[in-house]
Chain A
Amino acid sequence: MTDATSRVRRVAYLDHAATTSMYPEVVAAMTDQLARVGNASSLHGSGRAARRVVEESRETIAAAVNARPSEIVFTSGGTESDNLATKGLFWARHKADARRVRILSTAIEHHAVLDSLHWLATESGARVELLAVDSDGRLDLDRFSAAVERSPESVALVTVMRANNEVGTIQPLDDVVEIASRHGVPVHSDAVQAMGQIPLDFAASGVDAMTVTGHKIGGPLGVGALLLRRDVELVALMHGGGQERDVRSGTIDGPAIVGLATAAEIAVKGQPERGPRLAGLRDELIRRVLDAVPGAQLNGAPGDGRLPGNVHLSFPGCEGDSLLMLLDAQGVECSTGSACSAGVPQASHVLLAMGRDAATARASLRFSLGHSSTRQDVDRVVDAIAPAVDRARAAGVASVAGGRP
């Protein structure tokens, strides 16, 4: 016990949806670029060298997601891309035609989208309609279609995520695009969780704007992109030097972009192997936890309807944060998968939208797999989960009960 080596925790990291480790190739490529001077907007040799690296990276990313290089707008990450797409599209579309005030979305979007829409509603006169999902967390297409058809000329934009970040349910984006495009309504999609997990083809998707980010695909934090069709008008959020098609000013972060490109290439190239491998681990983890814990429930769509790396389970009678703490103490790292302010667990808006009650929503954990996940990680969860649930259930009962300890 006093032996220092015994205090080194073996960690089973099952929070790849929060952030995943960088590929060694990414670290190497970034390190190399960090040592070079040069602003990609400068006209001299060092500037040209920096520019060349950035443009090669742009081409690499474009190839990985089947977009044109000019359709890649670099940003600081998923949140910025979501803000830029939703606000930029709304302002541009509303300016072109004042009747366009409605934004159609889902009740299960990431807060980067939801809060942007909420802001547009309070500050820019948008009318936001968050459409219902079914009990698996899948957009109800009938309602979506009805919402569009009710008054298509008033729809400024549609934003529907590619796959949900909490429960992993893949959304029917092809149908969404088909319905919206009948009326020329642009579609944005947050594909932060989908990239590298399922195939992503920007050109074939028909989507007008798509959010991706580096740190979910084995790249660095703090860099992402908005894939933006060339014919889409967008009002800028960031004003300055006019970089990135005048849509996103700011000195271009060459090292981060090299890292993003390196990760995108590896993540996409490896996806056909990684996807099925993770789906196998996912299904094994789900099956074994459901076997080990009476009353546990899977949230989100089963099988191919969910991301290969996503496992989301409710353990009725527990507080998710108690479970998380107990598992953390065992070196099993996961997430309550819910929005946090000051670390205060709120019942997830995604689970509530799926029809779960608040208590069940708070009794939930997300285990997310990524490129470095192994069967040993699954074993670690399975070994730790049943005793942790027993204990958390006892604590849940104790917290509710009155009287003295």
Chain B
Amino acid sequence: MKVVAAMSGGVDSAVAAARAFDAGHDVTGIHLALSRNPKSYRSGARGCCTIEDANDARRAADVIGIPFYVWDLSDRFHEDVVENFVSEYAGGRTPNPCLRCNEKIKFAAVLRRARALGFDGVATGHYARLETGPGGVVEMHRAVDAAKDQSYVLAVLTQEQLAHSLFPLGSSTKPAVRAEAGRRGLAVAAKPDSHDICFISDGDTSGWLREQLGASSGPIVDTSGEVLGSHRGSFGFTIGQRKGLGIDRPASDGRPRYVLDIEPVSRTVTVGPREELTVDHIAGLEPRWCGSPPAAALECSVQLRAHGEAHRAVARLRGEQVEVELVEPASGIAPGQAVVIYEGTRVVGSATIASAGRRTAA
């Protein structure tokens, strides 16, 4: 195949490109310029948006021996990922920008452009496995390295997108990939992993959001409605958050309090004890199916946040909505995140969490 390898400047995408090349593909390395002002973003080597990262990617391409270009997708990224991120927080939800970037940029804008330019697909350094299932369906499975598994942030991809995707690292562990990078003479072998949101340079998400949205104070209340304090913007909170609530008074029972609810119109943040966070019912919108949708109630496991644990559950498709009953309850479930449905290691589909609650009062 003639493929573009998306190279962030990190170790994973470099090894992925090298493996695609070794597998006999005609590989062209591309680095996605996602920042409109690359110098202002990360100063360290952890992100994927700095000039240093672009140079690291270029050096890796040199070592592998493949052509390399930079594709400027900064406008699309800003529109589809950054603006969406801001508006989701403004709406009291907790978005996952990596998932959004995969959905809108890496496996959409990049793939469309690549195919129009005569490429057959895109290879990335994501940790997930693709297999051909019954009837030629492209199945996506969890990566062998459970700690690195990224199927959660790829679960939005359609069959059409997956049919043109390569994930050469899915069957490897991260230490093995690092070791291989060293053997291949890739200078990024020891480069630290990126963790935080690439477009927030100092990792201070709520400070960054305050810059974007302006401070907008509101009350912090308990479940009885009693006002416990105030905040400078409801976007600074995520369901399940415990630290940084800024409440002076301890709870009457002395136990820690958690964010239970964010109401963006009145900017009310409700806090309460941990058990109030526990949910066993989730409603998801905009479902995507990796193959056909489940015809009936599906016994499955679900993952509710990136790197979150799997919960046994039963999922049903009701109209345009996915309803998930958790056999094992979960806590701290934030609307805006994805619920990803697995059957064993296989991704069945995903949806955006619209609401989470308890069927029966505790």
- Asked whether A and B interact, the reply is yes
Q: Taking the nearest CB of chain A, how far is it from the CB of B35, in angstroms?
A: 9
Per DSSP, are chain A's interface residues mostly helix, strand or loop, or mixed? helix
Judge whether A342 and B108 touch: CB under 8 Å: no
Let me know if A395 and B116 touch, CB within 8 A.
Answer: yes
Inter-subunit contact B111/A391 (CB<8 Å): no
Residue contact A345 to B38, C-beta cutoff 8 Å:
no
Q: Closest residue to B103 on the A side, CB-wise? A: A404
Contact A343 B54 (CB under 8 A): yes
Q: Kindly supply a per-residue 1/0 record for chain A positions 314-346, scoring 1 wherever the CB is within 8 Å of any chain B CB and 0 otherwise.
A: 000000011011101100000000000111110
A397 sits at the interface (CB 8 A): yes
Most buried by A among B72, B74, B117, B158: B117
Q: Is the CB of A394 within 8 A of B116?
A: yes
On whether the beta carbons of A404 and B116 are closer than 8 Å, the reply is: no
Contacts of B38 in A (CB 8 A): 341-342, 344
**Which partner residue on chain A sits nearest B115 by CB separation?**
A405
Asked if B113 and A399 make an inter-chain contact with CB atoms under 8 angstroms apart, the answer reads: yes
Query: Does B33 reach chain A (CB closer than 8 Å)?
Result: yes
Binds A, one of B63-71, B275-283, B309-317, B336-344: B63-71
Interface string of A376-399 (1 = CB under 8 A from B): 000000000000000110111111
Taken together as a complex, chains A and B put the C-alpha atoms of A13 and B299 apart, in Å, by 62
**Does chain B have a CB within 8 A of A35?**
no
Pick the contact of B51: A329, A342, A394, A398 (CB < 8 A): A342
A395 to B71, CA, bound (A): 12
**Given A341-B51, A401-B112, A405-B164, A392–B117 Cβ distance below 8 Å?**
yes
> How far, in angstroms, from A322 to B28 measured CA to CA in the complex?
12
Closest to B104 in A: A402
**Once bound together, how far apart are the Cα atoms of A403 and B112, in whole Å?**
10
- Binary interface encoding of chain A residues 233-267 relative to chain B, with 1 for a CB under 8 A from any of its CBs, else 0: 00000000000000000000000000000000000
Select from chain A the residue with minimum beta-carbon distance to B114. Answer: A395
Residues of chain B in range 273-292 having any CB-CB distance to chain A below 8 Å: none
Question: B70 contacts which chain A residues (CB < 8 A)?
Answer: 321, 342-345
Q: Which A residues are in CB contact (< 8 Å) with B71? A: 321
Closest to B26 in A: A329
Report the nearest A residue to B31, measured CB to CB: A343
Given the known interface contacts A342-B38, A398-B116, the answer about A405 and B161 at a Cβ–Cβ threshold of 8 Å is: yes
- B246 at the binding interface (Cβ < 8 Å): no
Say whether, besides A328-B67, A342-B55, A398-B112, A321 and B72 are in contact (CB < 8 Å). yes
Contact indicator per residue, chain B 136-160, by CB within 8 Å of chain A (1) or not (0): 0000000000000000000000101
A396 / chain B contacts, CB cutoff of 8 Å:
116
CB-based contact B108/A325 at 8 Å:
no
Pairwise interchain contact B69-A343, C-beta atoms closer than 8 A: yes
- CB within 8 Å of A: which B100-136 residues: 107-109, 111-113, 115-118
Q: Is the CB of B67 within 8 A of A329?
A: yes
Instruction: Annotate A333-362 by CB proximity to B: 1 below 8 A, 0 otherwise.
Output: 000000001111100000000000000000
Asked if B42 is an interface residue, CB under 8 A from chain A, the answer is no
Query: Complex formed: what's the CA distance from A405 to B110 in Å?
Result: 9
Could you mark each residue 320-339 of chain B with 1 if its beta carbon is under 8 Å from any beta carbon of chain A, else 0? 00000000000000000000
Chain A residue, CB-CB nearest to B118: A391
Contact A397/B116 with A342-B55, A344-B72, A405-B164 known, Cβ cut-off 8 Å: yes
Known contacts: A328-B67, A405-B108, A405-B115. The answer to whether A344 contacts B33 by CB under 8 A is yes
In the complex, chain B residues whose CB is within 8 Å of the CB of A321? 69-72
Contact check, A405 vs B69: say whether CB atoms are below 8 A apart: no
Chain B residue nearest to A322 (CB atoms) is B117
* 0/1 interface trace, chain B 34-49, chain A, CB 8 Å (1 if under): 0000110000000000
Q: How far is the CA of A401 from the CA of B104 in the complex (A)?
A: 11
Q: Are A405 and B72 in contact (CB under 8 A)?
A: no
Q: Which residue of A lies closest to B67 (CB)?
A: A328
What are the interface flags for A27-64 relative to B under an 8 Å C-beta threshold, 1 for contact and 0 otherwise?
Answer: 00000000000000000000000000000000000000
How many Å from the CB of B30 to the closest CB on chain A?
Answer: 9
7 sampled A-B residue pairs with Cβ under 8 A: A342-B50, A343-B70, A344-B38, A345-B72, A397-B116, A399-B113, A405-B160
Known pairs A343-B31, A344-B74 / 12 extra A-B pairs, C-beta < 8 Å: A321-B69, A321-B70, A322-B117, A325-B28, A342-B33, A343-B33, A391-B117, A394-B116, A395-B116, A398-B112, A399-B76, A404-B108
Write the residues of chain B forming the contact surface with A, with a CB cutoff of 8 angstroms.
28, 31, 33, 38-39, 50-51, 54-55, 58, 67, 69-74, 76, 107-109, 111-113, 115-118, 158, 160-161, 164
7 closest Cβ pairs, A-B complex: A395-B116, A343-B70, A342-B54, A398-B112, A342-B51, A398-B116, A344-B33
